Amino acid sequence: MAKSSDTVFSGFHALSEPIRIQVIELLQEGEFCVGDMCDRLSIAQSKLSFHLKTLKEAGLVTARQQGRWMYYSLNADRFNDLEGYLSGYGSYPR
């Protein structure tokens, strides 16, 4: 179950952009540094950084610094929160 309505709102808001969905799909393969994500997604680093910031603020991705590079990965706990929220709607009559 989601922790709060703010958690749910920020999570779904962060997922409302097609580029962010592409980032999430890429990160399903594992951890990536920004440079590799830029190459794989054919996107400028400044644009990608903006979207990564939104995903990070929503708690959907985590970041760690190694040297001069930032590495990003999915935060499974936050996706579980969103899934728990949505699962409550499966029991409503159609």
Q: What is the mean pLDDT of residues 71-94?
A: 87
Domains of the chain are: 5-86 (1.10.10.10)
pLDDT digits (tens, 9 = 90+) for 33-71: 999 999 999 999 999 999 999 999 999 999 999 999 999
Compute the distance between CA of residue 94 and CA of residue 81 in angstroms, rounded to an integer: 24
CB pairs under 8 A, 24+ apart, for 63-67? 66/33
Of 27-31, 62-66, 86-90, the poorest mean pLDDT is in: 86-90
Q: Are 21 and 15 in contact (CB under 8 A)?
A: yes
Q: How far apart are CA 23 and CA 49, in angstroms?
A: 11
